[in-house]
Amino acid sequence: MEEENITTMTEFLILGFYEFPELQIPISFLFLLIYLTILMGNLTIIIMTCLDPRLQTPMYFFFCNLSFLDISYTSVTLPKLLDVSLRNSHHISAFGCFTQMYYFIFSVCVEFLLLTMMAYDRFVAICRPLRYSVIMNPRLCVLMAIGSWIYGIVEPVTHTVLISHLSYCGSREINHFFCDISALLKLSCTNTSTIDHMTYVLAVLVVLPCFLLTLTSYIYIISAILRIHSSEGRRKAFSTCSSHLTVVAVFYVSLACLYLKPTSMQSLDLNKLIALLYNVLIPLLNPIIYSLKNRDLKEAIRKVKNIFLVSKG
């Protein structure tokens, strides 16, 4: 490789869904509708939790954090995708690109931790109900949430710094709808083995412990539920954790589809489609799942709606 072909990029080109040029306008309006739904759904969760005392519990405290996280990272990726599709504006500065990548790693780390803490909350609620208010006290919940956000802020820094200092071999086209790590690494002509090793370390330090803790929590939860004699009691106990279990399943399955494929199946076009599961589907489904499966939340929404209709009338 000749030296003059090795450059430090000042901007990149995000291709988006260039494979469907005739569908750019419909795709844009679809993602605009999805983005507005994500904002409305997650803001509703946050507002309802603040307004209704019945929802001011550890479970909804963590879910509010999750809703805020969903709003923040979709606001980093989806507006640029809309810009690419609607205005054909593919350019993104190197700083903007690395910021997107940073937010993606940040959001994945924080979501793993928050979902694990919510699993622990459900474990205490079902397996240690008499000590629930003592164990899951407000101070502990706040410290757990702050710890998640701090870790999420710090962890991606090394990845971002290393990738931002890579050299690139001419091409600046990112075959994705945001600045994904895999797409950036494919553009680099620098040896990326160090970054690959760091990614595996991240999986060992964050993903594996979170998965094992969540799995262990639900083993104890299911065992406790099965020991309940009445079917009505089992149904009520399971209903308290079914929403979180559904969210966890969607989250882990989407990331497994994205990163646990055999090398022979690795494809940027395929990764781009699967990445929609995490970047779009999960933030869209989270408030829907909790709204459908939690009676207190549905009652809070209905109460606020009735107050609004009365005041309007």
> To which residue do tokens 């309006």 refer?
29
pLDDT-derived band at 4 (thresholds 50, 70, 90) equals very low
Q: Which of 104-118, 125-139, 156-170, 247-261 has the lowest mean pLDDT?
A: 247-261
> What's the CA gap between 290 and 247, in Å, rounded?
9
Question: Residue 263 has what pLDDT?
Answer: 46
Query: Does any domain span residue 1?
Result: no
Query: Does any domain span residue 156?
Result: yes
**Tokens matching residue 155:** 């962890």
Mean pLDDT of 149-165: 89
Question: Residue 176 has what pLDDT?
Answer: 84
- Residues 34-48: pLDDT tens digits? 999 999 889 988 888
Question: Residue 294 has what pLDDT?
Answer: 67
Give kind and range of the element (H or E) at residue 269: helix 268-276
Instruction: Return the closest-CA partner of residue 247 out of 28, 59, 18, 24.
Output: 59
Question: Residue 73 has what pLDDT?
Answer: 85
Question: Residue 2 has what pLDDT?
Answer: 41
> Which has more confidence, 229 or 138?
138
Sheet with 173-174, side-by-side order of all strands: 91-93, 11-14, 173-174
pLDDT-derived band at 144 (thresholds 50, 70, 90) equals very high
Above 70 in pLDDT, residue 301? no
> Which has more confidence, 166 or 131?
131
Question: Residue 258 has what pLDDT?
Answer: 65
Above 60 in pLDDT, residue 104? yes
Question: Residue 251 has what pLDDT?
Answer: 83
pLDDT-derived band at 13 (thresholds 50, 70, 90) equals confident
Question: Residue 154 has what pLDDT?
Answer: 92
DSSP secondary structure string, 60-104?
Answer: HHHHHHHHHHHHHHHHHHHHHHHHHHHH---EEEHHHHHHHHHHH
| Domain membership of residue 304 as a residue range | 8-312
What phi and psi values does residue 91 have, to the nearest 5 degrees? -70, 140
- Beta-bridge mates of residue 168: 7, 188
Mean pLDDT of 180-194: 82
Query: Does any domain span residue 107?
Result: yes
Q: How many domains in the chain?
A: 1
Query: Does any domain span residue 229?
Result: yes
List the beta strands (DSSP E) in the chain: 11-14, 91-93, 173-174
Question: Residue 252 has what pLDDT?
Answer: 84
CATH of the domain at 27: 1.20.1070.10
> What's the CA gap between 72 and 24, in Å, rounded?
25
| Contact (CB, 8 A) for 240 and 125 | yes
> What's the CA gap between 196 and 200, in Å, rounded?
7
Sign of CA dihedral 159, 160, 161, 165: positive
| Contact (CB, 8 A) for 55 and 300 | yes
- Beta-bridge mates of residue 11: 93
> Which has more confidence, 87 or 312?
87
Question: Residue 136 has what pLDDT?
Answer: 93
- Residues 210-269: pLDDT tens digits? 999 999 999 999 998 888 888 887 887 787 787 788 888 888 887 777 666 554 455 656
Query: Does any domain span residue 232?
Result: yes
> What's the CA gap between 150 and 147, in Å, rounded?
5
Mean pLDDT of 261-281: 67
> Which has more confidence, 265 or 100?
100
Query: Does any domain span residue 22?
Result: yes
- Pairing outcome for strands 91-93 and 173-174: unpaired
Mean pLDDT of 6-15: 72
Mean pLDDT of the chain: 82
Query: Does any domain span residue 116?
Result: yes
pLDDT-derived band at 82 (thresholds 50, 70, 90) equals confident
Query: Does any domain span residue 2?
Result: no
Q: What is the pTM of this model?
A: 0.86
Tell which phi-psi region holds residue 170, choosing left (phi > 0), alpha (psi between -120 and 50) or beta.
left
Residues in the chain: 313
> What's the CA gap between 76 and 87, in Å, rounded?
17
Q: Which amino acid is at 110?
A: V
Question: Residue 5 has what pLDDT?
Answer: 46
